[in-house]
Amino acid sequence: MNINEIVVISGKGGTGKTTLTASLIPYLEDLVIADCDVDAPDLNILLEPTIKSVHKFIGLKKASINKEKCIQCGLCNRHCKFSAISEEIILNTTKCEGCGVCEFVCPVDTISMEDAVVGDLYESSTAFGDFIHAKLVPGEETSGKLVAKVRKRARELAVLNNKKNIVVDGSPGIACNVISSITGASQVIIVTEPTFSGIHDLKRIHELTKKFNLKTQVVINKFDLSPSHTEIIEKYCLENNILIGLKIPFTKQIVESIVNKTIPSVGEKEFFEKIGFFKFLDNLLST
């Protein structure tokens, strides 16, 4: 079964990635939705899901100290490069990187490396279909691993329920969580903005999608705020054979729609029709 997996990403946060993702959702049939921005998930604000189940996410192992066996020799404190163990041999689990050196140097085997719960994986239902989302504990690592679990479960549900489409709100940036968001996707949408940082990050994220040989197109959000920067983006896309699928002007209508917790393409349907959003959507589904 061929599943059309559309992943929406951006080189930086705040470009309108989640707004565009949410706007696509009401018009896609046979759909499973996934939010892979596990460090700061917010697609749920607009979708208002009903949580069906919660699964604990195990990240890297972390140190655990048996205080009854500890002889206070201080070796663990002196060898820890992350300052996770104090002179009083009190462990700060937030600072612990799970390297295991404390366990190695402990002369009385009082330290062990144990699984640590660092997030939650949710399976929910929405008015538009099943919704897989997750939340990583602030400051924790292994976001790429959690993203992989979100996408894997979304694919499983799509196959199980014979769904044709998966739409993914990907992670911002270009780190491991983004790589995990786009690997094996049917098509990728890069949302950018006409600013220096927007152009810089567009180039970085395009290099990433190019390495994975992914079908990619660009959406320029708030394109009318800086015509000169928009021109630079258009020139870059032309030179690199990247389709600009949609240009969205700045408008308070979208802001007000989000403030009212309404999906913009539904609350401001006439505006979205005017800017060519539905033609853009048709092109997504026909490729």
Please state the domain extents for the chain: 4-56+121-286, 61-115
Of 108, 129, 133, which is closest to residue 120 (Cα–Cα)? 133
134, 119 Cβ separation under 8 angstroms: yes
CATH 3.40.50.300 corresponds to the domain 4-56+121-286: yes
Neighbour tally for 162: CB within 10 Å:
9
193, 31 Cβ separation under 8 angstroms: no
Q: How is residue 268 annotated by DSSP?
A: T
- For the cut 80, the answer to whether the pLDDT of residue 287 exceeds it is no
- Retrieve residue 136's tokens: 């990583």
Same topology between domain 4-56+121-286 and domain 61-115: no
Over residues 100-118, the mean pLDDT reads: 96
Q: Tell me how far apart the terminal alpha carbons of the chain are, to the nearest angstrom.
A: 16
Helix residue ranges per DSSP H, the chain: 17-24, 43-47, 75-79, 101-105, 143-160, 176-182, 196-211, 227-239, 252-259, 264-267, 269-274, 277-286
Q: Residue 13 — pLDDT band, cuts 50, 70, 90?
A: confident
pLDDT of residue 12: 81
Q: Residue 239 — pLDDT band, cuts 50, 70, 90?
A: very high
SS3 label, residue 60: coil
pLDDT of residue 286: 82
Dihedral angle at the C-alpha atoms of 146, 151, 153, 156, nearest 10 degrees? -160
pLDDT of residue 182: 96
Percent of the chain whose predicted confidence (pLDDT) is above 70: 99
pLDDT of residue 140: 84
pLDDT of residue 208: 94
CATH architecture for residues 61-115: 2-Layer Sandwich (3.30)
- For the cut 90, the answer to whether the pLDDT of residue 165 exceeds it is yes
Q: What is the DSSP string of 225-248?
A: G-HHHHHHHHHHHHHTT-EEEEEE
- pTM (two decimals): 0.91
- For the cut 90, the answer to whether the pLDDT of residue 163 exceeds it is yes
Q: Nearest 5°: CA angle at 50, between 45 and 55? A: 100
pLDDT of residue 1: 67
pLDDT of residue 276: 97
Over residues 72-77, the mean pLDDT reads: 96
Over residues 139-165, the mean pLDDT reads: 94
- Retrieve residue 49's tokens: 């899901």
Over residues 12-39, the mean pLDDT reads: 95
The pLDDT tens digits for 137-150 are 988 888 999 999 99
Residues near 215 by beta carbon (within 8 Å), at least 6 away in sequence: 186, 187, 188, 287
The pLDDT tens digits for 82-99 are 999 999 999 999 899 999
